[in-house]
């Protein structure tokens, strides 16, 4: 059942209008859909039949132009309703009545029940679980929706667009009608019904229009909407200022629901959000929660243009809207907080997670060519690498050129369903450039490797930089073509200042090299001394850089590079080299010793804040175990953990005074306002606490416990609890219990409680995880809870998940199979924990493979799980 990009054909019919009537009920919702259809003049096909897609629906009746159809006039299948003959030469109308059972819908796709409210998720193909339709994004219709329901159960009735009517009915029932003036694909349809409170505000657009802003939440969450509302206003203003894009309806609504498969959904005028990305109060949400909320609110808002006004022709084009919108939300968050810190966080996530995807059996280009289940392609590659591809275009064209290209794209394609190719073409046309080679980024999977060597010619005062590019094979792509890779470069003189780069007659502090061939040499003149090269500044391309560097050279860059990303990167690579030497020693059974150069480097970072405390905290963070794994041919989970812990503990010992001093300097008993100063203080202080906790002494135990009990904000409380849980702190059990009792009413905080225990590196974690599966607060039907326990254990606890006896793998497969029937999307996300099996030693390989085979051999496997498990084995 594979779908291929090359098989795309335009729709045979168009649906210009749809009128939807819902008679809402938890178990028995009646849908009446009136479709205004006509043949698509664009379509080559000439069959007289009409195929409408629908799944898990009960048909009540179907009529064409007022005449009920007999059973002989259509075929009702598992996935489609085929009407044998429809008018070819004129518009016609179809009226379908069907019923659905939202309560039975644990897949959370289509219309479902979350707590006591009814809500929808239609992207990518959920609309067909509501009624039969041409469920594809290039069919765009004007929607009119009327919701009818019980007034007590569903006092609030919402859908897309503007409210155009409402009224009372008998038996305590009422109705509301909504009309969306913009034609849209059905994946952007939404309805919500429930007992919801509304937090209201207003935004005045750049042209002076007043927009009503409404956030709907359950009553007990009304006090956690301020930050989301402020974020929305910030996003609206930012998109006007940065892209010249204004909001287009009079009303913007956001609804927060407890049960949601993903982060949030950009339904036109009615976003539906996972509560995780809306609700925040200083005592319940961490600083990074605050940042994620602003980022996701921005992301969904930005979709109104990059996604809704201009949408995708087909689902292979997903990165057209997602890559672009992620890039936009990254820019927004960087502008709101610190561009340097945001860039490092994004690159860190990309390199630890997307690079692994790109190097494994599930690798695919940002524009995939085939899928079995499209939900499996909402990936790090489509989203995060997609954003990197857009960022490279931004780099190549410059900010002004990129903006000109976007202006043309939005103007040219407003109201259309288009392709990635249309996006690149608009950028080309607006700038009078040609991006043919660059286009390969859309079709080629895998992370390119740049291998760099340098040769300094003292006599000629020249530096020659040779850059080779290659890309390892990925599934179905054994041979790779050269890509167009923008490589930002700076040169540093011996005193750390910028050495001027002479090119085209003028001198510059920084240039962008266009790497286009398999091997290229770039020469730089007028260099009386050999400079230190700072390459791939700002991480200007999603590639792996291979360049011989001494520890001293890295320490020099860590001290002097003016590029904030590369300064951080030098520290990371320094730590990577040190850790890998230790891994070698561990594998050879030699004693461990820490290189003094890293102690000195960290000491100077500790002593010099440079002003930005969040950035300083990042400079102190050792590379994560998952990043280190990515650098190893055969991953040695235990050695990685042991070596990294050794570095952390030894740094804590040798720099104890400095860590303590910084901790004391920045520790405040503050309630947790989300301003840059306070966030930076907390981040740095808690980084110090994390190091100090490795000392395992009474003094530090006391500091951690003190912070845990006195904290008035979640960032500090959770950081302290984490230090306690990941050590032999005597008060571990007591602190965990106290945290649970304190927060039992706050689902999002209890998620953190599960995650903290599931990710602990201490012994007995697996037994704890098994016990937590039976905890009354655990629930397989709540995706956030599943992710907080099963997801966290299998994806963020390599040490215990990869236990040599295979218990972690067996456990994960058990949970995948349990989830398979309940919620295939969540189940298939969990399988990815096993996908990287080829990267481990023979013993683990066998055990992981065995569980994948067990999954694939199971009957009634969902497409979602089947695709991931079988491709992992291939």
Q: What's the closest the beta carbon of residue 540 comes to ligand ARG, in angstroms?
A: 25
Nearer to Zn ion, 238 or 766 (CB): 238
Q: Three-class SS of residue 213? A: strand
Q: Interface with Zn ion by CB under 5 A: which range of 320-328, 762-770, 824-832, 846-854?
A: 320-328
Nearer to Zn ion, 135 or 322 (CB): 322
Under rule CB under 6 A, residue 272 binds ligand ARG: no
What distance in Å separates the CA atoms of residue 132 and residue 84, rounded to the nearest whole number? Answer: 15
Count of residues that bind ligand ARG according to CB under 6 A? 13
Q: What's the closest the beta carbon of residue 827 comes to Zn ion, in angstroms?
A: 22
Under rule CB under 6 A, residue 419 binds ligand ARG: no
Nearer to ligand ARG, 188 or 692 (CB): 188
Secondary structure letter of residue 27 according to DSSP: S
Under rule CB under 6 A, residue 266 binds ligand ARG: yes
Q: What are the CB-based long-range contacts (under 8 Å, 24+) for 702-706? A: 703/663, 704/729, 705/729, 705/731, 705/735
Q: Interface with ligand ARG by CB under 6 A: which range of 263-271, 451-459, 541-549, 854-862?
A: 263-271
Binders of ligand ARG in range 369-408 (CB under 6 A) = 375, 378
Q: What's the closest the beta carbon of residue 124 comes to ligand ARG, in angstroms?
A: 5
What distance in Å separates the CA atoms of residue 782 and residue 770, rounded to the nearest whole number? Answer: 17
Q: Interface with ligand ARG by CB under 6 A: which range of 256-264, 462-470, 655-663, 676-684?
A: 256-264
Q: Interface with ligand ARG by CB under 6 A: which range of 264-272, 483-491, 580-588, 666-674?
A: 264-272
Count of residues that bind Zn ion according to CB under 5 A? 2
What distance in Å separates the CA atoms of residue 62 and residue 48, rounded to the nearest whole number? Answer: 17
Q: Using CB under 6 A, which of 25, 180, 218, 300 touches ligand ARG?
A: 300
Nearer to ligand ARG, 534 or 823 (CB): 823
With beta carbons less than 8 A apart as the criterion, state whether 2 and 372 touch.
yes
Annotated active-site residue in 109, 300, 373, 867: 300
Residue the block writes with tokens 């496997």: 861
Q: Using CB under 6 A, which of 190, 236, 265, 861 touches ligand ARG?
A: 265
Binders of ligand ARG in range 821-840 (CB under 6 A) = 825
37 contact choice in Zn ion, ligand ARG, none (CB below 5 to 8 Å, kind-dependent)? none
With beta carbons less than 8 A apart as the criterion, state whether 240 and 805 touch.
no
CB 460: neighbour CB atoms within 10 A?
Answer: 12
Q: Which residues contact 622 (CB under 8 A, 6 or more apart)?
A: 575, 579, 644, 647, 648
Q: What's the closest the beta carbon of residue 299 comes to Zn ion, in angstroms?
A: 6
Query: To 10 degrees, the CA torsion angle through 680, 685, 686, 691?
Result: 130
CB 567: neighbour CB atoms within 10 A?
Answer: 22
Binders of ligand ARG in range 121-160 (CB under 6 A) = 123-124
Under rule CB under 6 A, residue 294 binds ligand ARG: no
CB 774: neighbour CB atoms within 10 A?
Answer: 7
What distance in Å separates the CA atoms of residue 651 and residue 407, rounded to the nearest whole number? Answer: 51
310: phi then psi, degrees, rounded to nearest 5:
-115, 115
Distances (CA, A) of 85 to 48, 49, 90, 505, 544: 5, 5, 13, 72, 56
378 contact choice in ligand ARG, Zn ion, none (CB below 5 to 8 Å, kind-dependent)? ligand ARG
Nearer to Zn ion, 384 or 658 (CB): 384
Q: Interface with Zn ion by CB under 5 A: which range of 91-99, 142-150, 322-330, 601-609?
A: 322-330
Under rule CB under 6 A, residue 293 binds ligand ARG: no
Q: What's the closest the beta carbon of residue 388 comes to Zn ion, in angstroms?
A: 15
375 contact choice in Zn ion, ligand ARG, none (CB below 5 to 8 Å, kind-dependent)? ligand ARG
Under rule CB under 6 A, residue 784 binds ligand ARG: no
Q: What are the CB-based long-range contacts (under 8 Å, 24+) for 58-61? A: 58/98, 58/99, 58/100, 59/96, 59/97, 59/98, 60/30, 60/97, 60/98, 60/99, 61/95, 61/96, 61/97
What distance in Å separates the CA atoms of residue 189 and residue 268, rounded to the nearest whole number? Answer: 7
With beta carbons less than 8 A apart as the criterion, state whether 832 and 377 touch.
no
Is residue 241 among the annotated active site residues? no
Q: What's the closest the beta carbon of residue 8 comes to ligand ARG, in angstroms?
A: 20
Nearer to ligand ARG, 387 or 618 (CB): 387
142: phi then psi, degrees, rounded to nearest 5:
-85, 130
Q: Interface with ligand ARG by CB under 6 A: which range of 87-95, 260-268, 471-479, 790-798?
A: 260-268
Q: Interface with Zn ion by CB under 5 A: which range of 126-134, 314-322, 340-348, 745-753?
A: 314-322
* Size of the chain, expressed as the number of residues it contains: 874
Q: What's the closest the beta carbon of residue 108 comes to ligand ARG, in angstroms?
A: 8
Nearer to ligand ARG, 312 or 463 (CB): 312
Q: Three-class SS of residue 605? A: helix
Query: To 10 degrees, the CA torsion angle through 740, 741, 746, 751?
Result: 10
- Contact letters (x/-) for ligand ARG, 337-376, by CB under 6 A? --------------------------------------x-
526: phi then psi, degrees, rounded to nearest 5:
55, 45
Nearer to ligand ARG, 314 or 563 (CB): 314
CB 786: neighbour CB atoms within 10 A?
Answer: 25
Q: Three-class SS of residue 48? A: coil
262 contact choice in Zn ion, ligand ARG, none (CB below 5 to 8 Å, kind-dependent)? ligand ARG
Binding site for Zn ion (CB under 5 A): 322, 325
Binding site for ligand ARG (CB under 6 A): 123-124, 261-262, 264-266, 299-300, 322, 375, 378, 825
Catalytic residues: 300
């Amino acid at each position: 059942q594979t779908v291929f990009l090359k098989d795309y054909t335009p729709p045979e019919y168009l649906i210009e209008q749809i009128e939807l009537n819902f008679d809402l009920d938890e178990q028995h919702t009646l849908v009446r859909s009136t479709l205004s259809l006509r043949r698509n003049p664009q379509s080559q096909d000439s069959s007289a039949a009409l195929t409408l897609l629908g799944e898990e629906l009960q048909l009540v009746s179907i009529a064409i132009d007022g005449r009920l159809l007999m059973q002989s006039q259509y075929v009702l299948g598992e996935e489609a309703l085929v009407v044998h003959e429809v008018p070819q030469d004129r518009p016609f109308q179809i009226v379908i009545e069907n019923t659905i059972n939202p309560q039975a819908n644990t897949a959370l796709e289509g219309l479902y029940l979350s707590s006591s409210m009814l809500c929808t998720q239609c992207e990518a193909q959920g609309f067909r679980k509501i009624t039969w339709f041409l469920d594809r994004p290039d069919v765009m219709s004007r929607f009119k929706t009327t919701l009818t329901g019980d007034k007590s159960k569903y006092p609030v009735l919402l859908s897309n667009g503007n409210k155009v009517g409402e009224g009372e009915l008998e038996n305590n029932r009422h109705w509301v009608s909504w009309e969306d003036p913009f034609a849209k694909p059905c994946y952007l349809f939404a309805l919500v019904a429930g007992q919801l409170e509304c937090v209201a505000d207003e935004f005045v657009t750049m042209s002076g229009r007043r927009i009503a802003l409404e956030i709907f939440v359950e009553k007990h969450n009304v006090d956690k909407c301020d930050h989301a509302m402020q974020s929305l206003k910030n996003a609206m203003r930012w998109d006007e200022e940065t892209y010249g894009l204004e909001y287009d309806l009079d009303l913007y609504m956001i609804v927060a629901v407890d049960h949601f498969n993903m982060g949030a959904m950009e339904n036109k005028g009615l976003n539906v959000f996972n509560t995780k990305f809306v609700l925040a109060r200083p005592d319940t949400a961490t600083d990074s929660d605050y940042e994620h909320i602003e980022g996701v609110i921005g992301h969904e808002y930005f979709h109104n243009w990059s996604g809704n006004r201009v949408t995708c022709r087909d689902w292979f084009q997903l990165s057209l809207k997602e890559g672009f919108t992620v890039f936009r939300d990254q820019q927004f968050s960087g502008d709101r907080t610190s561009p340097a810190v945001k860039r490092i966080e994004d690159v860190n996530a990309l390199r630890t997670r997307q690079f692994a995807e790109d190097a494994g059996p599930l690798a695919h280009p940002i524009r995939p060519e085939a899928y079995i289940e499209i939900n499996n392609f909402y990936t790090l590659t489509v989203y995060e690498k997609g954003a990197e591809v857009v960022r490279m275009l931004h780099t190549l064209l410059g900010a002004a050129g990129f903006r000109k290209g976007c202006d043309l794209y939005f103007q040219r394609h407003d109201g259309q369903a288009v392709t990635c190719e249309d996006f690149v073409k608009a950028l080309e046309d607006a700038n009078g450039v040609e991006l043919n080679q660059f286009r390969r980024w859309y079709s080629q999977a895998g992370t390119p490797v740049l291998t760099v060597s340098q040769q300094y010619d003292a006599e000629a005062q020249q530096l020659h930089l040779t850059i080779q590019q290659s890309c390892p094979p990925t599934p179905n792509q054994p041979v790779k073509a050269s890509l167009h890779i923008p490589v930002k470069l700076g040169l540093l003189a011996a005193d750390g200042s910028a050495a001027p780069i002479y090119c085209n007659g003028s001198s510059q502090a920084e240039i962008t090299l266009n790497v286009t061939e398999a091997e290229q040499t770039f020469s730089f003149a007028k260099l009386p001394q050999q400079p230190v090269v700072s390459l791939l500044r700002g991480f200007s391309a999603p590639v792996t850089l291979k360049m011989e560097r001494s520890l001293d050279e890295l320490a020099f860059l860590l001290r002097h590079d003016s590029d904030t990303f590369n300064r951080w990167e030098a520290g990371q690579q320094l730590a990577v080299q040190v850790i890998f030497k230790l891994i070698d020693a561990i594998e050879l059974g030699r004693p461990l010793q820490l290189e003094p150069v890293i102690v000195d480097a960290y000491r100077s970072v500790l002593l010099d804040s440079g002003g930005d405390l969040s950035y300083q905290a990042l400079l102190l963070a050792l590379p994560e175990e998952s990043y280190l794994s990515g650098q190893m041919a055969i991953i040695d989970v235990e050695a990685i953990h042991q070596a990294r812990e050794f570095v952390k503990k030894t740094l804590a010992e040798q720099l104890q005074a400095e860590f303590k001093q910084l901790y004391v300097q920045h520790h405040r008993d503050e309630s947790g306002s989300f301003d840059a100063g306070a966030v930076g203080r907390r981040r740095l202080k808690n980084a110090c606490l994390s190091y100090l906790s490795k000392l395992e002494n009474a003094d530090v135990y006391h500091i951690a416990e003190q912070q845990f009990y006195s904290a008035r904000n979640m960032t500090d409380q959770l950081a302290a609890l984490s230090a306690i849980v990941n050590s032999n702190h005597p008060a571990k059990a007591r602190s965990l219990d106290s945290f649970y009792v304190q927060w039992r009413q706050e689902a999002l905080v209890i998620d953190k409680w599960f995650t903290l225990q599931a990710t602990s590196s201490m012994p007995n974690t697996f037994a704890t995880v098994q016990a937590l599966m039976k905890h009354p607060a655990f629930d397989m039907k709540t995706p956030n809870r599943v992710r907080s326990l099963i997801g966290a254990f299998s994806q963020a606890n390599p040490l215990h998940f990869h236990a040599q006896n295979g218990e972690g793998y067996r456990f994960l497969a058990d949970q995948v199979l349990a989830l398979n029937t309940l919620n295939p999307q969540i189940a298939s996300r969990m399988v990815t924990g096993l996908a990287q099996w080829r990267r481990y030693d023979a013993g683990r390989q066998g055990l992981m493979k065995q569980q994948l085979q067990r999954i694939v051999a199971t009957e009634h496997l969902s497409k979602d799980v089947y695709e991931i498990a079988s491709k992992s084995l291939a």
